[in-house]
């Protein structure tokens, strides 16, 4: 009986290969683990259980001004500098590009200092589908994006955007596509009809169909499980709900099924600072919540501080990385607090600010970060 079952399965397997091609059917053990690329925001890594998952669909959702695109641009920079042959983050220090047309081709690269790859490094392009037409090269460069190595696409319609994205997601030379954002422009029906026409849920219908196409294109990519899509979405308030959460995610139910990771961003309190000319907003607190995570722990929450100006502690347009790492170390019990004293190993300092300063001055922050990464990746916690 067992021999007959094996023989029957082998015949079925050969039939699949003949009709659909090699690699369509295989045992689950052949699938590689879901790798993740760390964000520059430590709290994002905690909330998502490790960062941006490779080969998946990622959603950043929230109101305007909540740093959804900021975190998306960080993902662009991280994927650009990822070595796909050795699976190492921040492998490339810079790129040498050549070409006089609209697209420049990567001719050579410089590896980061101290990096010695086992195999020949491999670079792949990243694409920004800028439906909002808000990307500026100087802002991208500030966040670590190499503009010569970034493919920028600004479609004139949503149909054009979807058709192009199918090509991008199926191309083995492209690793990452960011769509900013779903609700930036209307559907083709909206654009072609008059303002008086009533278009009910046309965006939801359009994007439900589009995401089915995206999933198919990602599966077609020869680099199985390494084509990643990140999109920016928005919320709306549902009326007539006296109890519960009235916030609803836009653009249809299909995207809820397609996405692997969904992170909600929310702007909190603005931080005021005093200057010679008066009070100004120096920064803002941002809350994160993991709404869905199929490759980690869901429902994790956290917050961080984003600086609008250089306040002497946190540089402008960056987050409070040091404070986030200390906060996470305390969450995981790596740093012990006794009254006003903070203890880590042999280090014992009074006051949180003094403790952070002491850790940074002694160069111990990287060691604490390594311990945090191990805890974040442990899904049993």
pLDDT in tens, 81-108: 999 999 999 999 999 998 877 888 999 9
Assess whether 291 and 253 both reside in one domain.
yes
Q: Which domain holds residue 329?
A: 321-381
Given pLDDT bands bounded at 50, 70 and 90, which one contains residue 195?
Answer: low
Q: What is the CATH number of the domain that holds 272?
A: 3.40.50.300
Assess whether 379 and 276 both reside in one domain.
no
Q: Domain for residue 113, yes or no? A: no
Given pLDDT bands bounded at 50, 70 and 90, which one contains residue 246?
Answer: low
| Res 200 pLDDT > 70 | no
Q: What is the per-residue pLDDT across 263-319, written as a single tens digit (0 to 9) for each?
A: 999 999 999 988 777 889 999 999 999 999 999 999 999 999 999 999 888 999 999
State both tokens at 321. Answer: 């990385």
Q: Average of pLDDT values for 194-208?
A: 71
Query: Last residue of a domain, which of 319, 334, 352?
Result: 319
Assess whether 325 and 342 both reside in one domain.
yes
CA distances from 315 to 136, 144, 219 (A): 20, 15, 41
State both tokens at 268. Answer: 């909190």
Strands 125-130 and 105-111: unpaired
Q: What local confidence, expressed as pLDDT, does residue 14 receive?
A: 81
Classify each residue of 335-348 as buried b or exposed e, where b means 16 or more C-beta atoms within 10 Å of its C-beta.
beeeeeebebeeee
Given pLDDT bands bounded at 50, 70 and 90, which one contains residue 80?
Answer: very high
User: Given the structure tokens 């004139």, which residue do they identify?
Assistant: 156
User: Which pTM was predicted?
Assistant: 0.92
Assess whether 223 and 291 both reside in one domain.
yes
Distance CA(35)–CA(215), nearest Å, equals 18
Assess whether 234 and 215 both reside in one domain.
yes
Assess whether 210 and 61 both reside in one domain.
yes
Query: Last residue of a domain, which of 319, 337, 358?
Result: 319
Distance CA(6)–CA(13), nearest Å, equals 10
Given pLDDT bands bounded at 50, 70 and 90, which one contains residue 362?
Answer: very high
Q: Domain for residue 41, yes or no? A: yes
Query: Last residue of a domain, which of 270, 288, 319?
Result: 319
Helix (H, G, I), strand (E, B) or coil at 56: coil
Q: What local confidence, expressed as pLDDT, does residue 139 receive?
A: 96
Q: Which helix (H) or strand (E) holds 190?
A: helix 188-192
Assess whether 302 and 164 both reside in one domain.
yes
pLDDT, greater one: 180 or 199: 180
Q: What is the CATH number of the domain that holds 351?
A: 3.30.250.10
Q: 6: burial class by Cβ within 10 Å (0-12, 13-18, 19+)?
A: exposed
Number of domains in the chain: 2
């Amino acid at each position: 009986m067992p021999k007959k079952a094996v023989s029957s399965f082998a015949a079925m397997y050969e039939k699949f290969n003949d009709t659909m091609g090699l690699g369509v059917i295989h045992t689950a053990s052949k699938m590689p683990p879901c790798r993740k690329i760390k964000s520059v925001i430590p709290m994002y890594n905690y909330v998502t259980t490790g960062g941006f998952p490779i080969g998946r669909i990622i959603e950043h959702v929230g109101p305007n001004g909540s740093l959804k695109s900021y975190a998306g641009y960080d993902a662009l920079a991280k994927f650009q500098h990822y070595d796909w042959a050795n699976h190492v983050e921040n492998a490339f220090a810079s790129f040498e590009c050549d070409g006089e047309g609209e697209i420049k081709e990567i001719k050579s690269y410089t590896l980061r200092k101290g990096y010695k790859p086992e195999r020949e490094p491999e670079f792949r392009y990243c694409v920004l589908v800028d439906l909002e037409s808000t990307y500026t090269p100087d802002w991208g460069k500030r966040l670590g994006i190499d503009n010569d190595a970034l493919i920028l696409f600004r479609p004139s319609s949503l149909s054009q955007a979807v058709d192009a994205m199918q090509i991008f997601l199926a191309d083995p030379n492209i690793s990452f596509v960011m769509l900013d954002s779903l609700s930036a422009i209307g559907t083709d029906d909206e654009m072609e009809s008059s303002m008086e026409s009533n278009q009910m849920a046309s965006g939801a219908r359009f994007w439900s169909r589009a995401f089915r196409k995206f999933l198919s294109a990602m599966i077609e990519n020869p680099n199985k499980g390494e084509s990643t899509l990140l999109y920016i979405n928005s919320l709306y308030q549902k009326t007539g709900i006296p109890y519960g959460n009235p916030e609803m995610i836009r653009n249809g139910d299909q995207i809820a099924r397609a996405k692997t990771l969904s992170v909600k961003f929310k702007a909190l309190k603005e931080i005021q600072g005093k200057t010679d000319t008066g009070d100004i907003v120096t920064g803002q607190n941002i809350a994160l919540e993991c709404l869905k995570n199929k490759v980690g722990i869901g429902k994790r929450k956290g917050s961080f501080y984003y600086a609008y100006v250089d306040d002497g502690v946190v540089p402008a347009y960056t987050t409070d990385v040091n404070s986030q790492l200390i906060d996470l170390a305390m969450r995981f019990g790596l740093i012990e607090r006794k009254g006003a004293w903070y203890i880590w190993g042999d280090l014992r300092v009074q006051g949180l600010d003094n403790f952070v300063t002491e850790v940074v001055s002694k160069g111990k922050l990287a060691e604490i970060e390594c311990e945090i990464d191990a805890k974040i990746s442990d899904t049993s916690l």
